[in-house]
């Protein structure tokens, strides 16, 4: 299927849910109007307080991932594969090709992050789900995250739902995990580690000298701190 046809189909599906989708293809970025950005900033502040996350961290992540556009879809992320986290699941997908591309403010990517109402499109939290177990690397980091504490979500394009899923389904438990593993690390550096693994995944080896993601993240952190 051509990319143009995909876009037309996704836009049609999104229109059924009244979601004005924005597309970010290679070399492009999503963007938000001043009015939308103002609303998003308020929800970021609310989320930071709710989950005790530094507001500058959320601002940097959202700016880096979606430029504050809650309707951003990145067709280059979550490209279909054979791994359980990005295998084709039309019944779960918000895009017409059936794959878990990056969605919304934090670019929720993969069924473990964008599944609705719970990860992997489970109707209720299930800590025994094997797909979730391995995609979150629980075999190596036992108990670092519990699906029972992951927020309910039915619309990843909702700024509030997207941010709460990011916070509860990754950022907060990941920060606690990394603090336990690297207790002498500065807290700002631990949040930087959280940002790296959000982009690269839990199986990646942390590279503090990474440039393709962390360089711009660092620029935004400096702006918002």
Give the distance from CA 40 to its chain's centroid: 15
pLDDT of residue 78: 73
Of 210, 152, 153, 200, the closest CA to residue 174 belongs to 200
Band (pLDDT 50/70/90 cuts) for residue 81 is: low
Residue 198 has pLDDT above 50, yes or no: yes
Task: Indicate the burial class of 13 (C-beta count within 10 angstroms; 0-12, 13-18, 19 or more).
Answer: middle
Of 87, 39, 86, 89, the closest CA to residue 62 belongs to 39
pTM above 0.75, yes or no: yes
For residue 117, cis peptide bond before it (omega within 30 degrees of 0) = yes
Helical packing angle, 159-166 and 55-66, nearest 10°: 110
> Lowest-confidence range among 89-93, 206-210, 220-224?
89-93
- Per-residue pLDDT, averaged over 185-208, amounts to 98
- Per-residue pLDDT, averaged over 73-88, amounts to 82
pLDDT of residue 76: 84
Cβ proximity of 81 and 119 under 8 Å: no
Specify the CATH number of the domain 3-224.
Answer: 1.10.530
Cβ proximity of 202 and 152 under 8 Å: no
């Amino acid at each position: 299927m051509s990319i143009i046809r995909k876009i037309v189909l996704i836009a049609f599906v999104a229109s059924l849910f009244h979601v004005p989708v924005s597309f970010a293809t290679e070399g492009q970025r999503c963007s938000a109007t001043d009015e939308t950005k103002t609303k998003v900033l308020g929800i970021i502040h609310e989320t930071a307080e709710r989950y005790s996350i530094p507001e500058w961290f959320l601002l940097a992540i959202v700016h880096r991932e979606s430029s504050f556009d809650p309707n951003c879809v990145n067709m280059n992320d979550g490209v279909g594969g054979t791994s359980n986290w990005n295998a084709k699941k039309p019944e779960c997908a918000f895009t017409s090709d059936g794959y878990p591309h990056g969605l919304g403010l934090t670019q929720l990517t993969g069924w473990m992050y964008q599944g609705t109402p719970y990860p992997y499109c489970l109707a209720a939290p299930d800590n025994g789900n094997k797909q979730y177990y391995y995609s979150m690397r629980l075999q190596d980091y036992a108990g670092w995250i519990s699906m029972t504490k992951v927020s309910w979500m039915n619309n990843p394009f909702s700024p509030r739902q997207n941010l709460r899923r990011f916070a509860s389904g990754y950022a907060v438990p990941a920060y606690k995990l990394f603090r336990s593993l690297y207790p002498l690390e500065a807290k700002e550096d631990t949040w930087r580690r959280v940002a790296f693994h959000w982009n690269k995944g839990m199986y990646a080896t942390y590279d503090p000298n990474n440039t393709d993601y962390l360089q711009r993240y660092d620029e935004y952190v400096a702006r918002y701190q």
